[in-house]
Amino acid sequence: MNQYDYIIVGSGIAGLYTALLAKKQGSVLIITKSSIDDCNTKYAQGGIAAAIGKSDSPELHFQDTIAAGDGLCDEEAVRILVNEAPDRVTDLVNFGVPFDTVNGEVALTIEAAHSMPRILHAGGDATGEHIEVNLSRRVRSSKIRVLEDCLATEILIEKSTVKGIKALDCRTGSTEEFDCRFLILATGGAGQLFKFNTNSDIATGDGITLAFKAGTEIVDMEFFQFHPTALRLPGVTPFLISEAVRGEGGILRNVDGHRFMPDYAPEEDLAPRDIVARSTLYEMKKTGSDRVFIDVTHLPPHVIATRFPHIYRFCLDHGLDITKGLIPVAPAAHYMMGGIKTNTWGETNIAGLFATGETACTGVHGANRLASNSMLEVLVFSKRIMEKTSTGATTKATSSKGVGVHHLVGQRQSPKVIPAPSLSALQQLHWDKVGIIRTKEGLTKAANILAAWQRSLPQPTDRPSYELNNLVLTGQLVTEAALLREESRGAHFRSDYPQSSSSWQHHIVFTSK
């Protein structure tokens, strides 16, 4: 019972889509620490980018992705992404995902840093939910075994090759080992590092920690994308206000009503996310406020209600009619662009171990993810993992050598005053010191505290303690990478090194071995 061809850790779009492909090639087990339906995917409002419009092309999509990545995209991976996009969208249609149409044609919208409309949506701003529901329903009706409330705690390796996984039953506290030929990590991101974030509470860097401890390479961790517009209401968890709202004509205004983005960027409200997030932060400081506003009151009410039904209803439930009033927003942590280093087949530097989705770093996002490329990345590279494993061979990606390969700093100065390690203390620390605008002083302080926590944390025994341990280690990787990169590039901004530097046009890789 405990031997499988494929074990997949995680049940978002990456885990479910990969599992549905894998079941055609062998036995499959999904391990997920919560419910199969609890993931970041269902909160994804933006959509999926694909060059399927009459005037669009993979080449234009390639150019936009490279430009957003600010010098650090893997061009081969980006070529694969944009060329295979239309076929992967067709896969979702075949799985029953109901993409929005206008007059019988798939409706395409535009988002920041895209040169033309190429974003497909389902149910307006409910794209992720439609995909998740369709895929999870198919998984539940298949012969795929799903272990819910089960947390993967250790990758088992024998003779430099994956043997299986050890997992904790979060309900009983018992542990069990499962063997496999191929192990695929699809655990999502680490948004819970930050006090303000748009992620589900499951996004605690679990895959990063599992992989790092097993000896895989972790890359580009300094590049964490902050979404410029999350709903900011007292007592309300940050709720994403999709970039597509600005794509439809939404205008950013400060508390005085001034439209401020033309002051910061020629693209105005549709500038790249990192620029809008920093500009918003500057404007908040300038006006002494904890928020700015998106104004859609000039748009027809029926357009807002039908194009953004989730956002419209959520705001209405909290006493705000966005067709008549401004939407209060502020930046929040959103997407981890770095992760487990893979090649274009999803392989890591350990034979038999693969990664896909937000926990993986394929190289397509570079220093700054182009909007709506993330769900596409999942589809393209999960499919390629299946193509690679269909041959039955266990290979591995080439290990990095030389420039940019680091180990975590073993001995850091212990601060005189250290707050007790807790989720809230960790989130506040990252928001204050490792957030949108960084400095050497702040990053050093955070690194010292994280190192002290790492030394003092007891051996984890349950899901909360494992998650805190995972966040501390993931936070160390983010912080140390940000401290090393003495420049500003993409989503990583150092006020003490505000310009990008050609000498830093390379990746920072961490390994524990």
Angstrom distance (rounded) from CA 424 to CA 179: 36
Q: Is the dihedral of CA 328, 245, 229, 274 positive or negative?
A: negative
DSSP bridge pairs for 164: 156, 179
CB-based contacts of 256, cutoff 8 Å, min separation 6: 287
- Our CA angle for 60, 100, 53, nearest 5°, is 25
Cβ–Cβ contacts within 10 Å for residue 505, how many?
13
In SS3 terms, 121-175 reads as: CCCCCCHHHHHHHHHHHHHHCCCCEEECCEEEEEEEEECCEEEEEEEEECCCCCE
Angstrom distance (rounded) from CA 357 to CA 380: 10
Angstrom distance (rounded) from CA 176 to CA 167: 5
Angstrom distance (rounded) from CA 433 to CA 439: 8
Kindly state the tokens that stand for 42. 């269902």
Catalytic residues: 273
Kindly state the tokens that stand for 136. 């999870």
Kindly state the tokens that stand for 457. 């944390």
Listed residue (237, 304, 195) closest to 43, CA to CA: 237
Listed residue (26, 38, 41, 300) closest to 144, CA to CA: 26
From residue 212, give the alpha-carbon distance in Å to each of 108, 194, 363, 408: 39, 21, 18, 11
Helices 374-389 and 13-22, packing angle to 10 deg: 30
SS3 206: helix
DSSP bridge pairs for 105: 102
